[in-house]
Chain A
Amino acid sequence: MKSKLMKSVIGIGALAASTLGPSSAQAEDLTLCWAAWDPANALVELSKDFESQSGHNMSFEFVPWPNFADRMLNELNSGGQLCDLMIGDSQWIGGAAENGHYIKMNDFFEKEGIDMADFIPATVTGYSEWPKGTPNYWALPAFGDVVGWTYRKDWFDRPELQAEFKEKHGRALDAPKTLEELKQIAEFFQEREIDGKKVYGASIYTERGSEGITMGVTNALYNYGFQYENPEKPYELEGFVNSEGAVAGLEFYKALYDCCVPPGSSDWYMSENIDAFKSGQVAMQMNFAFIWPGVESDPNVGGGKSGYFPNPAGPGGQFAQLGGQGISVVAYSEKQDAALEYIKWFAQPEVQKKWWESGGYSALSAVVDDPGFASSQPYAQTFLDSMAIVKDFWAEPAYASLLQPMQSRIHNYVIAGQGTAKEALDGMVKDWNEVFEDEGIK
């Protein structure tokens, strides 16, 4: 009885509030879903400002990367109401848009004066648009991310190593400009004794279960000439996915895996790579940029001991795998207005600035174009350089079906050593064609 009374009192209160002002609706419990990683914890801190301003209460559901896509796509496909706000991975946007998991943001952006031109173009295309290249927005770019490299500057700077490297390769031991150079450096460090400890060349992505090895190998594939499809003729794969360049790129990644990684790194993704780097096992690590604030503040490898460089160029150009996410409102949520309020709050330049300061990579141009940005952190320039060369995996609605065969074909070749690079890529063409046939695209 009492609770019923309470409910009606709250109801009347809410009614009164809603007639008074459009934005001061009743206090809601909003749940935001994202991956469990550093930036997410920073967002929890940041969101406290929103809670005090709006009166809404924020809860968070963070899932570690290897399970993130699985869990969250399952959630969306089951029409779950767990998440009101979803910071979903960039590749989900097609499926989420076509199946109506996310609400469309165009009207909201227009009403609130949020302009997509104010954000880094690559992030708008990558995190927000579907179909790509059209002004249909399903998310607000929330976290810019890209694969780059971290290296042990303190090791690179050692005179005896400098001298030895110079003698061997005829150039200074420095951040590599090309992938070939990167491999030479990795070979140089492989199984070398440093401070009485055996170290290894580089840790790279090799994870099998979710998306790890794909997010890693693409950095080699793109730069050797791999393309997802014929730029002239969409969904034509033959000769692009398995081009000669693509084969060379895949062979390069395998060669790097065979020569220069720590033992046992056959199923590694972000967190394992961080571990290896922080514990002083490797000279270089491939990883998404989100880790850099953590590296800088680490007692072992931070404070100037580490350096950063964008994915080095290859014969086919210089690209880097795009990561990062946009923030969307889940269509099954019953609290969409409050969720939009959060996005409105998050889009403000001051909040975005604070976001960058607390370790989140803002995608707002005003933040990254600020003259002080590049020098604000040792990795800021590398982040900007990397964001300028990004490429992303398929964002089709069938993205998961496209990712799976890539994971298994690539892992089978690179880690298990079965078949040839050409066979792996030919297999991928076959699998992908099947997916597109199933989808009724071809």
Chain B
Amino acid sequence: MSEETNTQSKQSPSGNRLSKVRGLSDRAIAWIFISPTILILLAINIFPLIWTVYLSFTNYRVNRPNKEVEFVGLRNYERILSDSDIWITMQATAHFLIWTIILQVVIGFTLAYLINKKFKGNDLWTTIIVLPMMLSPAVVGNFWTFLYQPQIGLFNYVVGFVSGADPSSFSMIGDVALAPWSIVIVDTWMWTPFVMLICLAGLRSIPDSIYEAAECDRASKWRQFWTITIPMVLPFLMLAVLFRGIENFKMFDLVVQLTGGGPGSITELTSINLKREAFEKWRTGYASAYAVILFVSIFGIASIYVKALNKVKSR
């Protein structure tokens, strides 16, 4: 026991001085400390993932326990990739993703830039802006359906008040043209603060000395903004985009409560579509293949993006 402790502690980063530690060896402690985490993650994340992959090659259905499970090879994948409806949901997801990211980056960065002017009481107002992102998307999304109601809803009323339009003349979640924007607006309301905070961290990481040096060189404020502020904040911004991108690719709760995918399938994002296949139609095998495709695309896009991000960072 003591021998083992000795050999172990030599390898440990804390070095030789600690060789007389009593009790378990460091290696034993390390594994005792880490293994529960790894085990739980294997059981709840990795094992299910492998199972999903397995199921994706079968015609298994959860709601038909008495039916024999057959291997169907790649048929589930073929059906998904050739299904035009799924491309429609992909488009809906893309519209949602692109616009939420654009709006959140623009508004979030602007807010961070303004807050960084360090006016009095800025931290309290920052906190107030952050409130929506702390709240339950399902509960808040549900309430937004009320705000969006023509006539009686606050949103329509305010828009009507500002623009002069009749508040009952448009319906955010009922109209084909407006529904995709209704989810973009709520998501932007909720998650702009996240982008803002990360930008703020970026802005605050820029040392004053750089601006001072630029000032000495008589660079204009405008030039300073484009040559110092933006490039220095860019890695942070890209990170924020990555996080929002992943989150919104997975988007489920908010939109389910807001539009439920309607009207028609206009706002049926992939996660909602997948939930319908898996837990309403109970096409388990098919839905598993769908899940695998989704997962692979998130991972693929994310890793390409991370490579780009690292390039920007190292520049």
Q: Are A and B in direct contact (Cβ within 8 Å)?
A: yes
Interface residues, chain A, with chain B CB atoms under 8 Å away: 70, 73-74, 77, 95, 98-100, 198, 208-209, 263-267, 397, 400-401, 404, 408, 411-413, 415-418, 438
CB distance from B68 to the nearest CB of A (A): 10
CB distance from B160 to the nearest CB of A (A): 12
Interface members, chain B 75-109 (any A CB < 8 Å): 85
Interface centre among A73, A95, A267, A401 (most CB of B within 10 A): A267
Are B264 and A77 interface neighbours, CB within 8 A? Answer: no
A-B contact pairs, 9 of them (CB 8 A): A77-B282, A209-B261, A263-B169, A264-B168, A266-B175, A397-B64, A400-B280, A416-B266, A438-B59
Partner of B174 from A415, A418, A438 at Cβ < 8 Å: A415
A263-B281 contact in complex given A408-B264, A411-B263, C-beta closer than 8 Å: no
CB distance from A363 to the nearest CB of B (A): 27
Partner of A99 from B66, B174, B260 at Cβ < 8 Å: B66
Interface centre among A98, A100, A400 (most CB of B within 10 A): A400
CA distance A324 to B130 in the complex (A): 47
Are B279 and A208 interface neighbours, CB within 8 A? Answer: no
A263-B260 contact in complex given A77-B62, A99-B64, C-beta closer than 8 Å: no
Q: Taking A74-B279, A411-B263, A416-B266 as given, write out 20 further A-B residue pairs in contact, using a Cβ cutoff of 8 Å, ordered by the A residue number.
A: A77-B282, A99-B66, A208-B263, A263-B150, A263-B168, A263-B169, A263-B171, A263-B174, A264-B151, A264-B168, A266-B175, A267-B173, A267-B174, A267-B263, A404-B280, A412-B264, A415-B174, A415-B263, A416-B263, A438-B283
CA distance A99 to B66 in the complex (A): 7
Partner of A265 from B66, B169, B174 at Cβ < 8 Å: B174
- In the complex, B262 has a CB within 8 A of chain A: yes
Describe B's contact surface by its main secondary structure: loop
Interface centre among B63, B168, B173, B281 (most CB of A within 10 A): B63
A208-B282 contact in complex given A263-B171, A404-B276, A415-B174, C-beta closer than 8 Å: no
- Chain B residues contacting A100 (CB-CB under 8 Å) are 65-66
Tally inter-chain residue pairs, CB-CB below 8 A: 91
CA distance A267 to B176 in the complex (A): 12
Are A209 and B260 interface neighbours, CB within 8 A? Answer: yes
- Chain A residues contacting B175 (CB-CB under 8 Å) are 266
CB distance from B262 to the nearest CB of A (A): 4
Kindly list the 3 A-B residue pairs having the minimum CB-CB distance in the complex, ordered from nearest: A266-B174, A416-B264, A412-B264
User: How many B residues have CB within 8 A of the partner chain?
Assistant: 33
- In the complex, B265 has a CB within 8 A of chain A: yes
Are A70 and B279 interface neighbours, CB within 8 A? Answer: yes
- Chain B residues contacting A397 (CB-CB under 8 Å) are 63-64
Are A415 and B264 interface neighbours, CB within 8 A? Answer: yes
- Chain B residues contacting A263 (CB-CB under 8 Å) are 150-151, 168-171, 174
- In the complex, B5 has a CB within 8 A of chain A: no
CA distance A198 to B168 in the complex (A): 11
- Chain B residues contacting A408 (CB-CB under 8 Å) are 85, 264-265, 268
Chain A minimum-CB-distance residue to B166? A263
- Chain A residues contacting B260 (CB-CB under 8 Å) are 208-209, 267
- Chain A residues contacting B280 (CB-CB under 8 Å) are 70, 400, 404
Are A264 and B171 interface neighbours, CB within 8 A? Answer: yes
- Chain B residues contacting A417 (CB-CB under 8 Å) are 176
- In the complex, B259 has a CB within 8 A of chain A: yes
- Chain A residues contacting B261 (CB-CB under 8 Å) are 208-209
Are B63 and A95 interface neighbours, CB within 8 A? Answer: yes
A99-B63 contact in complex given A70-B279, A74-B279, A415-B262, C-beta closer than 8 Å: yes
CA distance A438 to B281 in the complex (A): 12
- Chain A residues contacting B176 (CB-CB under 8 Å) are 415-418
A208-B262 contact in complex given A264-B151, A400-B281, C-beta closer than 8 Å: yes
- Chain A residues contacting B262 (CB-CB under 8 Å) are 208-209, 266-267, 411, 415-416
CA distance A181 to B151 in the complex (A): 29
CB distance from A283 to the nearest CB of B (A): 17
Chain B minimum-CB-distance residue to A101? B63
- Chain B residues contacting A95 (CB-CB under 8 Å) are 63
- Chain B residues contacting A267 (CB-CB under 8 Å) are 173-174, 259-260, 262-263
